[in-house]
Amino acid sequence: AIEVANRIKYPVVVRPSFVLGGAFMDIVYNDKDLATFVAKAKTINDKHPILIDKYLEQAKELDVDALSDGETCIVAGIMEHIEPAGIHSGDSACVLPPFSLSDAMQTQIKDATRKLAKALNVKGLLNIQFAVKEDTLYIIEVNPRASRTVPFVSKATGVSWAKLATRVIMGERVCDLAITEGMPSYYCVKEAVLPFNKFPQSDILLSPEMKSTGESMGIDASFPLALYKAQVSAGQTFPVAGKAFVSVGDQDKDAFVPIADQLSKIGFTLIATEGTCHFLKQHNINSIPVGKISEEGDSILDYFNRKEIALAFNTPSGKISNKDEI
């Protein structure tokens, strides 16, 4: 396993074969963590191989549902995840139609979907998870079956895809179903409902292993409002003032500048770790410096314990800083 991981280069996604919901999947960054995973995975099921894939950092993930009769394939919906690739699709918020993909990339995704459906001779629904990084399309996995996203896509498009798939499985052709391919003119957002409030001892770090216990949906002509509706119906609350904790990884600092600027303008006081505080100061954005949990003295944990933080932005890079910064 270590030889394979070093050949395709860390980080890698590892999992036992034939698991559902991403069970026991993990992202590993070095030989030591991989050896620990392999030892643990053998106790799960030693009759099947361990799968090792290259992990694409900072990549967009997509879900595509389609209907095929083995020859003709029609794309039911392209959903763009808000969380990056590496978070289980069941825990990711997703948007239909995509909010940041070019028309050319969407055409490429549809072409790839049709080719895969035909090559696999799928008759019925199929789900494909793609990733896009630096304008290159990658295939994560193809599932020749209905996905958990089918009810969401059906509500979003107004088409009963499961009923149509049943007719295809019974022998009808896609071209005889009188349906056309096309995305809605409004935005539909699916948000995962996570159980952390009800299970306070559970690990809140999202990973390839699914943790959500439900989902909500928001629809609006505006993407931000559709996202807001989905968040509210998932039980999230939105403060309008107070202290906002910000600690972002180097890869996210430039993208965070306009967000920090907006937070300051609408009345939030920014509390930032040293590196983020220094970076924001270079862009004329004021913040109050605070230590990390692992550092001595007054740390961000003290602010949280005093219930002074209304909002938090935390984008750690890598597993070590991930657990330290949370």
- Residue 65 near residue 153 (C-beta atoms within 8 A): yes
Is 228 exposed, middle or buried (CB count within 10 Å of its CB: 0-12, 13-18, 19+)?
Answer: middle
Work out the percent of the chain whose per-residue pLDDT is above 90: 54
pLDDT at residue 321 in the model: 47
Where residue 324 falls among pLDDT bands split at 50, 70, 90? very low
pLDDT at residue 73 in the model: 96
Q: Which H or E run contains 36?
A: helix 31-42
Reading the block at residue 150, the tokens are 């089918």
Is 23 exposed, middle or buried (CB count within 10 Å of its CB: 0-12, 13-18, 19+)?
Answer: middle
What is the identity of the amino acid at 153? V
pLDDT at residue 317 in the model: 60
Q: What are residue 51's DSSP bridge partners?
A: 15
What is the SS3 assignment for 320?
A: helix
pLDDT at residue 290 in the model: 87
List Cβ neighbours of 24 (8 Å cut-off, separation of 6 or more): 15, 16, 40, 41, 44, 209
Reading the block at residue 212, the tokens are 């959500």
pLDDT at 11 over 80: yes
The chain-wide mean pLDDT, for the chain, equals 87
Work out the percent of the chain whose per-residue pLDDT is above 70: 87
Render pLDDT for 126-152 as a digit per residue (tens, 0 to 9): 999 999 999 999 998 899 999 989 999
pLDDT at residue 27 in the model: 85
pLDDT at residue 199 in the model: 67
Render pLDDT for 99-135 as a digit per residue (tens, 0 to 9): 999 999 999 999 999 999 999 999 999 999 999 999 9
Q: Distance between the two ends of the chain, CA-based, in angstroms?
A: 30
Q: Which H or E run contains 259?
A: helix 253-265
pLDDT at residue 297 in the model: 65
Full strand arrangement of the beta sheet holding 12-16: 26-28, 12-16, 50-54
Render pLDDT for 29-76 as a digit per residue (tens, 0 to 9): 999 999 988 887 666 556 677 888 888 888 899 999 999 999 999 999
pLDDT at residue 322 in the model: 43
What is the identity of the amino acid at 104? A
Average pLDDT over residues 164-170: 96
List Cβ neighbours of 115 (8 Å cut-off, separation of 6 or more): none
List Cβ neighbours of 243 (8 Å cut-off, separation of 6 or more): 268, 269, 270, 271, 303, 308, 309, 310, 311
Q: Is the dihedral of CA 243, 247, 248, 253 positive or negative?
A: positive
Question: What does the chain come to in residues?
Answer: 326
pLDDT at 232 over 70: yes
